Structures are given as C-alpha cells and as structure tokens.
C-alpha cells in the first residue's frame, strides 16, 4: 500500500476510535499496532521489538521524572488551601470596584497557575470557591463561567507546566528544552492573564450590572493597612514557592527535574504551615499523583507508538510534501498548522494533539526555517484553547460538575466565547512579536 493511502487511513481510524469513546492511550497504541503490522507485512516480533525499544527510551528520560513531582506539588497545594486564602484577601481588596471579584479570580488563577499545572484542580477549586461569591454579588452567569474556565486553564501555559515537560521530551531539541520552554512561556501566560483582566475591567465599567462591586459597608470593614497585611500574608507563600521552582531553573542552579523536587518539598512545607499536612492528606495526594502520572505516561507511550509507526511508514514525508511542496508561502503553511491544532482542540485532548502533531510538524518547521522555540510556544498557546473550545473543552465540563444546578451548558458556552477570542488575540500578538517568546530564553540561556 502507498504511504499516502496508509497516512489517510491511519488518521481516519484514529478519529473514528476517539469518536467511539475508547480510552485515548489504548486507541493510539491500538491504531499504531494495526497499521504497523500492515506496513511491515505482519512481522509481529519486529513491531513489538520496536515498541519495546521506544518505551524503554521514553522511560529512561531524566526529564520525565519531573512529571510526577510537579503533579505531587499540585496535589499538595490543592489541599493546603493557599488559593482560598488569597481569594479571601483579594475579595476584600478588589471587591469594592466594578468587576473586582472577577479580577480577583484572574489574579488567584494566575498565581495558582505558576505553582501548579493541573487544570482540573484549578477550575474545580475556583468553581467551588468563586462561583457562589460572584453569583451572590450579582455577577452574570455567563461572565462568571467564562472568567473561571478561562483563568483556570492558565496553568497549562504558565510554568511549571506538565505540557511543557512533555513537549520538551517529545522534540529532544536543545532549542525546545524544558528550561527554554518554561522561560519562553512566562510572558505569553502573563499576556493572556492581562487580556482577561482588561476585558473584565472594561466590560464591567461599561455594563456595571454584569459585575457589580460589593457594598460600601462591606468594603469599609477593613482599613487599608489591614487589607495590605492580608494580601501580603496570602501572597508571600506562593510567591516564595514560584521563586524556588522557576528561580532555580532560570538561574541555572537546578534542572527542571530538580526544581520539581524542590517544588514538591515546598508545597509540603506550605501545607504543614497551614496545618493541612496530615497522614490522610499525604495518602490522598500520593494516590492522586499515582493515578494522574499513570494516565500521562500511558498517553505518552501510546503517542510514542503512534508517531513511530506513522513516521516509519512515511506519513511524516507525505504531510511535509503536501505542505512544503504545495508552493504555499511559509506563513500560510504556519497558519494552516495553527488552524489544524485549533480545530483538533475542539474534539481531542491536548496530550493527543501534541503526540500526533509535534513529530509531524517539527520537521516542517525546521525546513521552513522558523524558530522552533517560537513555534513551540505558539502551539502551546493554541493548545490552551482546547480546554475551553466547545463542544468538548475539558474545563467547561469541570466547571459544569461543580456549578449550581441552574447552570446549563449553553450558559457556559456563551460565557467562554469572548475569552476564546481573547486567546486567539494573544496568539496573534505572539505571531507578530516573536521576541515576547524568545527574549527571556536568550537572556537566561543565551539560546
């Protein structure tokens, strides 16, 4: 069979299996096994030997050790109630201005994103904490859901991010090492958070009924000195943890894996300081870490099998020839790749998109002489939309699971659309100004 036919058939089989609802990791591995056997003449021993070598190479990667450590850090932080304390302080400080509670959610999620990369934890925690507070003060349902879902997904982009660790492990390029990806993602993450912040501030000043302030009586219960003290007390611990993790990486003192270990230890200290570090909490955090890590690694192995078979049967060359050999301008090719990622994000999990597209797109990027770090961060910013784009954005369903009963999916879909447009605006800004991504890595690593 021709590589062109196998390439099309392999993708159609993958999409069909995903739409039928089969587990993604086993779908990737199963499709890879089927088409690997077809391609090599049903030489089972050769195929499984190739799979074993790939799985061993993957598990032998030092960078991947950071995955369970960052997940453990996130689990411990989720149970230390750091985000609750910060939201309570910002509720008082910002609540008196129009849209102030929405701004508080964005700030808390940004800080929380810089200490943990687990989207489910961020959206669920802020859904439980912020939704009752915002609705009780008269915030529009749609705006409330949009703020929480969009801000809660910042953790997949702002480092430390599990997505960056996996991406760095996939490419194996010096330019897209985990350290470079972490440094390059800082400004894009802050730009998206700033766009959310400005949108809420402007919207609620134009239409105060969408996000009214708390009453003057409630706002005046605390003096300015008390407000500052509460804010600093709740901000200093997470900022200290951010400095310990990101500061050591950017300073070149620690590798991302070592910094992940430091972050997990720091999260345990914060939980202990808040009197939340019990044996039961450790047990629950460890169990959740085990489950999440197992899921991530199974996805990684399945994706590795899929990409190995796809490339070995010539699928990568087929796609590259189609894009490069089409005679299209290289910027048009770049926009096509971004569009493919965006459309896939409406239906498929971000991990599957990474595992499928990165091995195919990266050779095209190198051939077209784009900066691989810049392209990688464009991919990551684009992939953040996969959590919030209807119909299957994971963050939307996380929020629906903890939202009040009167919430419908239509409320959530309507609420998230302005924030999806803001994410696309952020992506355009980074397309037009590459130095937003490349400046920090050049400063810290000379790359």
User: Domain segments of the chain: what residues?
Assistant: 61-277+313-445
Q: Is 326 exposed, middle or buried (0-12, 13-18, 19+ CB in 10 A)?
A: exposed
- Residue-by-residue pLDDT tens, the chain, 447 positions: 678 888 888 888 888 887 787 887 888 889 999 999 988 888 888 888 888 888 887 777 777 788 888 888 878 887 777 777 788 888 888 888 888 889 999 998 888 888 766 676 678 778 888 888 888 888 999 999 999 999 988 988 888 888 888 888 778 788 888 889 999 999 999 999 999 999 999 999 999 999 888 877 776 777 777 777 887 888 888 888 888 888 888 888 888 888 888 888 988 988 888 888 888 888 988 998 888 888 888 888 888 888 888 888 887 777 877 777 767 788 999 999 999 899 888 877 787 788 888 888 998 999 889 999 999 999 999 998 888 888 778 888 888 888 888 888 888 999 999 999 999 999 999 999 999 999 999 988 775
Pairwise CA distance, residues 143 & 212, whole Å: 12
User: What is 202-247 written as a DSSP string?
Assistant: HHHHH-GGGSPPPPHHHHTTS-HHHHHHHHHHHHHHHHHHHIIIII
Contact present, 79 and 264 (Cβ < 8 Å)? no
The helix or strand, by DSSP H or E, that contains position 122, with its residue range, turns out to be: helix 119-136
Pairwise CA distance, residues 173 & 130, whole Å: 41
For residue 306, give the 3-state DSSP assignment.
Answer: helix
How much is the pLDDT for 117?
Answer: 65
Contact present, 188 and 377 (Cβ < 8 Å)? yes
Pairwise CA distance, residues 131 & 141, whole Å: 9
Contact present, 15 and 320 (Cβ < 8 Å)? no
Listed in sequence order, the residues at least 6 apart from 283 whose beta carbon sits closer than 8 Å to its beta carbon are none
Q: How many residues does the chain have?
A: 447
Pairwise CA distance, residues 302 & 349, whole Å: 14
The CA-atom distances, in angstroms, between 118 and each of 73, 75, 156, 422 are 10, 8, 7, 22
How much is the pLDDT for 112?
Answer: 81
CA nearest 227: which of 96, 105, 99, 89?
89
Q: Is 93 exposed, middle or buried (0-12, 13-18, 19+ CB in 10 A)?
A: buried
Buried b (16+ CB within 10 A) or exposed e, 33-67: bebbbebeeeeeeebeebbeebeeebeeeebbbbb
Residue appearing with tokens 């599990």: 162
Structure tokens at 355: 């595992």
Contact present, 127 and 105 (Cβ < 8 Å)? no
How much is the pLDDT for 221?
Answer: 73
Pairwise CA distance, residues 329 & 416, whole Å: 33
For residue 274, give the 3-state DSSP assignment.
Answer: coil
Contact present, 109 and 87 (Cβ < 8 Å)? no
Listed in sequence order, the residues at least 6 apart from 79 whose beta carbon sits closer than 8 Å to its beta carbon are 271, 276, 281, 284, 285
Structure tokens at 283: 């047990």
Listed in sequence order, the residues at least 6 apart from 382 whose beta carbon sits closer than 8 Å to its beta carbon are 338, 341, 342, 345, 427
Helix and strand totals (H; E) in the chain: 22, 0
The CA-atom distances, in angstroms, between 323 and each of 6, 305, 428 are 18, 24, 21
Residue appearing with tokens 């605390």: 222
């Amino acid at each position: 069979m021709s590589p062109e036919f196998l390439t099309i058939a392999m993708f159609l089989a993958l999409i069909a299996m995903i739409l039928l609802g089969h587990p993604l990791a086993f779908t990737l591995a199963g499709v890879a096994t089927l088409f690997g056997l077809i391609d090599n003449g049903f030489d089972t021993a050769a195929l499984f030997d190739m799979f074993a070598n790939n799985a061993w190479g993957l598990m032998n990667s030092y960078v991947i050790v950071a995955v369970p450590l960052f997940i453990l850090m996130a689990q411990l932080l989720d149970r230390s109630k750091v985000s609750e304390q910060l939201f309570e302080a910002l509720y008082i400080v910002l609540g008196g201005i129009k849209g102030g509670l929405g701004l508080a959610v964005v700030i808390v999620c940004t800080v929380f994103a810089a200490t943990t990369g687990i989207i489910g934890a961020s959206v669920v925690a802020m859904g439980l904490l912020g939704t009752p507070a915002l609705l009780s003060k008269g915030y529009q349902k749609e705006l409330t859901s949009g703020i929480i879902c969009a801000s809660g997904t910042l953790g997949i982009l702002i480092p430390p991010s599990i997505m960056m660790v996996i991406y760095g492990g996939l490419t194996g390029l010096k330019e897209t090492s985990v350290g470079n990806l972490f440094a390059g993602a800082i400004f894009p993450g802050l730009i998206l958070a700033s766009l959310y912040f400005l949108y809420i501030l402007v919207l609620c000043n134009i239409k105060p009924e969408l996000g009214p302030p708390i009453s003057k009586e409630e706002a005046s219960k605390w003096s300015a000195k008390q407000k500052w003290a509460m804010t600093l007390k709740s901000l200093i611990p997470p900022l200290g943890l951010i400095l310990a993790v990101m500061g050591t990486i950017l300073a070149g003192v620690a590798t991302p894996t070592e910094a992940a270990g430091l972050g997990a230890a720091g999260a345990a200290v914060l939980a202990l300081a808040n009197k939340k570090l019990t044996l039961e909490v450790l047990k629950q955090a460890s169990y959740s870490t085990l489950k999440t890590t197992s899921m991530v690694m199974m996805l990684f192995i399945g994706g590795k099998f899929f990409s190995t078979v796809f490339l070995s049967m010539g699928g990568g060359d087929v796609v590259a020839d189609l894009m490069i050999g089409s005679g299209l301008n290289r910027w048009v090719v770049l926009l096509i790749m971004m569009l493919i990622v965006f459309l896939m994000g409406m239906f498929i999990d971000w991990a599957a998109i990474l595992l499928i597209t990165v091995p195919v797109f990266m050779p095209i990027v190198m051939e077209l002489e784009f900066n691989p770090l810049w392209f990688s961060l464009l991919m990551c910013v684009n992939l953040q939309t996969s959590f919030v784009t209807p119909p299957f954005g994971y963050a939307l369903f996380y929020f629906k699971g903890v939202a009040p009963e009167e919430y419908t999916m239509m409320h959530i879909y309507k609420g998230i659309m302005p924030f999806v447009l803001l994410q696309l605006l952020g992506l355009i800004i980074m397309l037009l100004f590459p130095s937003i991504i490349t400046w920090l890595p050049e400063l810290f690593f000379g790359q």
